[in-house]
Amino acid sequence: MEKKFIMTAFSKDRPGIVADVTEVIYENGCNLEDSTMTNMLDEFAIILLFTGKGEGLEDQLSGDCRRLEREKGITAFIRPVEAEDKEKRVSFTAKTINVEGIDQTGIVFKTSRYLANNDINIESLTSRRTISPESGTALYSMEIKVQLPANISIEQLETGLSQVGEELNLEITLH
């Protein structure tokens, strides 16, 4: 029976990290289905979703993760995941939230807490801190892709996000 796994891995950035990590998947006869990779402050991080078959596959993959750390300096972890039950999926509307303003503590927390309190699922979140070339002020921007459940109206979401924006003096827009 085919099983799904999530692997997370990170290392000091250098050429070959992706090849080293995906070699483990390939060598175990697994198929890569989805991935996200990024470089932050000279650290490279990877999240992979893949499938594989075979008795003892999880133990083999765990051993290979430990080998990656010993031999390549890549810290990696795997976890089996259940296949999505399509019948249990709740209908939702996909929306994108953009947040911009002066950097301060709590932007991600307060925005994500509002979403969580309203059962709005975050599908992906990317953020970046930059410095304004004109003033030298630290600016923060964030893009959040969310799954808006049918019982939450666009107006309700906009009102709640507006309150978060006012509290933190941020511009929050919904697309």
φ and ψ at 38, to 5 degrees? -155, 160
Go through the domains of the chain in sequence order and give each one's CATH number: 3-81 (3.30.70.260), 90-174 (3.30.70.260)
> 33: Cβ–Cβ under 8 A, 6 or more apart, which residues?
4, 49, 50, 51
Q: Say if residues 86 and 44 touch (Cβ distance below 8 Å).
A: no
Residues β-bridged to residue 38: 45
Euclidean distance between CA atoms 46 and 24, whole angstroms: 13
Supply the pTM of this predicted model.
0.78
pLDDT tens sequence for the chain (175 residues) = 899 999 999 999 999 999 999 999 999 999 999 999 999 999 999 999 999 998 999 999 999 999 999 999 999 999 999 876 555 566 889 999 999 999 999 999 999 999 999 999 999 999 999 999 999 999 999 999 999 999 999 999 999 999 999 999 999 999 9
For 137, what's the count of Cα atoms within 13 Å in the CB-facing half-sphere? 10
For residue 174, what are its two tokens? 């919904």
